[in-house]
Chain A
Amino acid sequence: MNGFPWLSGLIFLPLAGAVALAGLPAAADRLHRRWATGVAAAEFLLSLPLWWRLVPWQPGWQFVEKHPWIPALGAQYYLGVDGISALLVLLTTLMTLVAIVGAFRAVGQRTREFYALMLALEAGMIGSFLALDLLLFYVFWEAMLIPMYLLIGVWGGPRRIYAAVKFFLYTMVGSVLMLVAILSLYFMYRGLTGIGTFELDAFYAMPIAPAAQVWLFLAFALAFAIKVPMFPFHTWLPDAHVEAPTAGSVILAAILLKMGTYGFVRYAIPLFPQASAQFTPWIVGLALVGILYGALVSMVQPDLKKLVAYSSVAHLGFCMLGLYAMNSQGFAGAMMQMLNHGISTGALFLLVGVVYERRHSRLIADFGGLWKPMPVYAAVFLAVMLSSVGLPGTNGFVGEFLVLLGAFRTQIWWAVAAAAGVIFSACYMLWMYQRVIFGPVTHEENEGLADLTLRERLVFAPLLILIFWIGFMPQPFLDRVTPALDRTLELSRQRAVAARLTSAGIGTPVPGVVTRVPAGGGR
């Protein structure tokens, strides 16, 4: 707002850092680590103003930057934030920093390329959260696949190539159809007004006939559902998570999956509310299946990383359930669940990475009694595990509770089914924790395992702080997101009405009928 392009800075700082890193000599591992950490830390600091300079109840976008990009098409370089994207950007900058520091020991080969890709990935993720021009969003959305693909494929486990290619192709299938839908929206708008633009606000103001909404919604929803991932589209996730290096898994779980739910909040639901409502039974059904299926499959996993990966399917099912409860509590719960899953599951992957670095095994059966050699580790693991389960006092509880509340208000049995998922999640998490941490040390190799080092403690510290901060005092977070969420909800309702009018032939489809709602239901 005040001249300095904060948001462009957020996108281009890591990109510049990555390019500069690529120019450093190949053999200077320590230098690469320091440089990457420095850039990620600077990026985190640069993103902090989003926390206190954002005015949550102010409608519309903030920190806006708008420049012509491809004038011949009407595409713009249009960035802005509201409460939703601001928190996700903060999550991104924090988790990237944590993942980079967490990878110090794990990545010993080709460190230069590794950290350069991590920083490039960060730029792509932040860009897709900030873009308000659909073409620009799409560019970031897809460009971000390349570094992630390489991270999995080059530094991953034994089946890394299969996992990387699968990850890429799955995401592409959904994305290209979304591109077609974006182009359709563009021509629809141009047909109505004669102005070619990819601006999100313009599409928000355009009523879309219900018949068109169905197809457009399906195209968008498929892209996002694969990313979330929702139940039948989730099969890329266990492969990608298990094969990716720890830092890759952390970013994948903490941020990339949020891209999908963010896509629903920002694009699929408010743009196509009518179709969205029409498909609610399907989406909620799949979300519930995801919650239960994810939990049940987690329970039988012998591999720690796979267990955490499947638990993601269940947690993201909660997000989707919250969104499709279509009320204030559900939305807020989904949003909190997005943040919580980012923090807790990110931390879980880091915890798995810690023992993997020491033992080169991720099998639950190879551990047991770790509390004895690694007491600090056991304590951290306990806190993170309980937050993932959703114990009151930790962040997980806030999100799940709000989601259940929202679901309960819409359909009681949704909440009942989802609550069963909460119980299952306690089962698999606690059982896993018991087998890994408690009991006698069953393997001799584990007796001499080193506890968390200072660096590792520093990595987990901010995550633990957030877990308890959100757990005990979620209000500052809710204050930031709820006004924006309520505005989105209100916008969806209005657009649904406008769509019904166009189909009934009452209203003329003139853009501008729907204006962005003022202040909304903020506090």
Chain B
Amino acid sequence: MSPLQAPALLTVDWWALGAVLALSAGAMLLLLLEFLPPKPDSSRSAVLALAALLVSGWAVTVARDARRSIFGGMFVHDGFTVFFTLLFCAIGAVAVLLSWDYVKRTRINQAEYYALLLAATLGMILMAASNDLITIFLGLELMSLSLYVLVGFRRSLLESNEAALKYFLLGAFASGFLLYGIALLYGATGTTNLAKMAEFLAGSPQRSNSLLVTGGLLLLAGFAFKVAAVPFHMWTPDAYEGAPTSVTAFMSAGAKAAGFAALLRVAARALGGVPAEWLPALGAVAVLTMTVGNVTALLQNNLKRMLAYSSIAHAGYVLVAVAAGGPDGFSAALFYLAVYSFMNLGAFGALTLLGRGLQERVLLADVAGLGFRQPLLGLALTVFMISLGGIPPTAGFMGKVYVFGTALKAGLLPLVIVGVLNSVISIFYYLRVTVALYMEEPQGEPTEVSWTAPARVAILLALAITLWFGVQAGWLLVQAQRSVLGLM
């Protein structure tokens, strides 16, 4: 740390802002460089985006143990910020590796694509690091707007257009909810700063003020939209299906984690934990999210849609952890989000490889017999499915143990029972993928697989992480627990 001390002249600790700066610089540089057009199959933009993400991740680790409050307390750098910054950078990096070849073969404009990807990552980091409702909203909009464009990036494709439009319209609606909630909270407390809000609430009998409760629930609804919780999930399957698969991978992991990060930050900093008034709503949403997500996923034949519903269900599991509240519940949520991000990136990542050129082969029937023709891809997809289903020895299992354990400790036995039974339901459709992979013969023309080195690295990375945290979860658990310490 010593040679990297911030200049005494400035009151801002630039290292704490390093991640944000690196991503902003990367995004702008990407666009600027387009004045010197590269060859169509150049990897310049991808390399640059990857570098920006790595620098960003490195910058945040430099100031890992520092606690800073910057810009009048709007941006805080603490363990929570570090955890999520690293997670988002990792998600971004894996997404870049997955996109590397995918954007080339689907002829997507690279510089704009990667610039938007970096901007979305930046938005996610801001959401996790903000200590003010206004900056949270700004981060959320930066992320959302970038994602709206990314979802519709294959503009010649009808599905992609439809997905983007749907996502945008419903997303704008949700932003409205969120903003209205912020306005009500401001009306009730006279501030948008989370710390000041907590101060105000601590000394006042206002806790059950209807303005405050309504504002809080509207905020919850806004975040529920971003994390795709039922009944705010309608956009998810269409957006996930229509988006370029690499974007689906990125947003299914990143946007969800960011939504939860902001939710946890607001709940912990402003409201001093999950308010009791939220519990019935949170519990109901969690049960609905898990059940609707899993049961609907049973009926899907398109793997992207199936995984979209599965990602809805996974939001439900995280909500169980949020409902458990307290440092344990929050660290369980962090742990689960990290684990979920990698297994889901891996699962969608494997789908980006299916098909050649513009063609997309993501039906269940398309992977029939693939397990023996492509042993590594088959193994990876199997492990991701097993992990999503929560079966040991994978990270998904440890995540479920931790989430359900903390919920049990918080006395939420009914939620836990619903949760574990849901994971049995989910196993049925995850198994269908392995059935197709290993037990069925391909009908018609077999699916071609576009293996390239970057995608291979990304999938192996996700595979290694999924397996490693399945047998050795200790380190990640400790990190998650430490990250929420400063928050409560």
Contact = CB atoms under 8 A, between A and B. Distances in A.
A173 B424 contact: yes
B427 A169 contact: yes
Contact of A142 (B397, B434, B474): B397
Contacts of B417: 177, 180
A160 B423 contact: no
Given A70-B473, A187-B408, A187-B409, A138 B392 contact: yes
A486 B421 CA distance: 37
A153 B438 contact: yes
Contact of B391 (A72, A113, A142, A184): A142
Given A70-B473, A146-B386, A180 B420 contact: yes
A452 to B, nearest CB: 32
Among A143, A168, A176, A177, chain B packs the most CB atoms within 10 A around the CB of A176
B405 A70 contact: no
Please indicate which of the listed interface residues A110, A140, A161, A172 has the most CB atoms of chain B within 10 Å of its own CB.
Answer: A172
A177 B424 CA distance: 10
Nearest to A150: B438
A282 B477 CA distance: 42
Q: A interface, by DSSP: helix, strand, loop or mixed?
A: helix
Contact of A180 (B392, B416, B440, B474): B416
B344 interface: no
Given A143-B391, A173-B424, A73 B477 contact: yes
B240 interface: no
A135 interface: yes
A196 B402 CA distance: 13
A110 B428 contact: no
Interface string A85-119: 00000000000000000000000001001000000
B401 interface: yes
Interface residues of B, dominant DSSP: helix
Contacts of B405: 73, 183, 186-187
B431 interface: yes
| Most chain A beta-carbon contacts within 10 A, residue among B372, B401, B473 | B401
A71 interface: yes
A177 B435 contact: no
A348 interface: no
Contacts of A187: 405, 408-409
Contacts, number: 88
B172 interface: no
A177 B386 CA distance: 18
B404 interface: yes
A364 interface: no
Contacts of B440: 161
Nearest to A72: B477
Contacts of A110: 372
A172 B427 contact: yes
A124 to B, nearest CB: 9
A142 B392 contact: yes
Interface string A169-191: 10011001101100110110000
Interface string B391-405: 111000110011011
Contacts of B404: 179-180, 183
Given A138-B392, A143-B393, A164 B420 contact: no
B296 to A, nearest CB: 18
A165 B424 CA distance: 12
Contacts of A172: 391, 424, 427
B408 A168 contact: no
Contact of A153 (B401, B439, B473): B439
B380 to A, nearest CB: 13
Contacts of A113: 372
Contacts of A419: none
A496 to B, nearest CB: 25
B478 interface: yes
A154 interface: yes
B424 A184 contact: no
Nearest to A170: B424
- Say which size band chain B's interface belongs to: 20 to 34
B121 interface: no
A55 interface: no
Interface string B149-190: 000000000000000000000000000000000000000000
Contact of A139 (B397, B421, B481): B397
A269 interface: no
Contact of B478 (A72, A138, A146, A160): A72
A161 B398 CA distance: 28
A138 B405 CA distance: 14
A415 B261 CA distance: 62
A185 B25 CA distance: 52
Contacts of A69: 472, 474
B241 to A, nearest CB: 25
A140 to B, nearest CB: 8
B123 to A, nearest CB: 31
B385 to A, nearest CB: 10
Contact of A72 (B420, B421, B438, B481): B481
Interface string B229-260: 00000000000000000000000000000000
A183 B401 contact: yes
Given A73-B477, A150-B438, A165 B431 contact: yes
A69 B392 CA distance: 15
B439 A161 contact: yes
A216 interface: no
Contacts of A73: 402, 405, 477
Interface in A137-153: 138-140, 142-143, 145-146, 149-150, 153
20 contacts: A70-B398, A71-B474, A72-B478, A73-B477, A139-B392, A142-B392, A142-B397, A143-B393, A161-B435, A164-B435, A168-B427, A168-B431, A172-B427, A176-B420, A179-B404, A179-B420, A180-B404, A180-B408, A180-B417, A186-B405
Given A179-B404, A179-B420, A187-B408, 19 more contacts: A69-B472, A70-B398, A70-B472, A71-B474, A71-B478, A72-B473, A146-B386, A146-B391, A149-B431, A153-B434, A153-B438, A154-B439, A169-B428, A173-B421, A177-B420, A180-B413, A180-B416, A184-B408, A186-B405
